[in-house]
Homo-oligomer: A and B are copies of this chain.
Amino acid sequence: MSKKRQQLIDTALQLFYQRGINSVGINEILAVSGVAKKTLYNHFTSKEELVLATLKQRNDNFITWLDMSLKETNSDIEVVNKLFNGLFAWFSNSAIELGNFRGCFFINTSAEFSDPTSNISQYCRDHKLQVRQLIAQYLSQSNTELLDTICVLKEGAISMAYVNHDLSMPAKCIKIVEKLL
């Protein structure tokens, strides 16, 4: 992997996540990263290809962070606790690996790209599936009902943290799952 290529991905991810993909132009990414335009088009054939690379990078970062957050859990309720405490840390900018919170990059990107069959929209869907499967790995047995509950609460908590500016949901989600178990 080229160093310049990685510079471009890091800069683009930062700008895309903080301001939205359609609000950030190629020229700004070049100015901030200090890379020449020809170098960018040497590594990526189009803006879309760069976008896909940033989605992959963010997915890797997120999965790594989540995997770390869920490590060493001995019960389902502990998984739930670590998951939602992790989300709260993310929302309140205490998870430095994930950057300044501006919602879920994949939800935001899905909102910007309306064609559900595009590579970009499909990748966003795939990311959500990967997160679901990672959570499933940490639950004691294959419990689809609990898994569904956790996932829908997680998506709700993310959405309300970003749109409503309500950071209280992770704590409430833990209480909800406690009652259900």
Contact = CB atoms under 8 A, between A and B. Distances in A.
A29 interface: no
A92 to B, nearest CB: 15
B148 A152 contact: no
A153 B148 CA distance: 11
* Residue with the greatest number of chain B CB neighbours at <10 A, chosen from A116, A129, A155: A155
A interface, size bucket:
35 or more
Copies of this protein in the assembly total 2
Contacts of A102: 114
Contact of A162 (B23, B110, B165, B176): B110
A112 to B, nearest CB: 6
A155 B20 CA distance: 21
Interface of A: 18-20, 22-23, 102-103, 106-114, 116, 124-125, 128-129, 145, 148-149, 151-160, 162-165, 168-169, 172-173, 176, 179-180
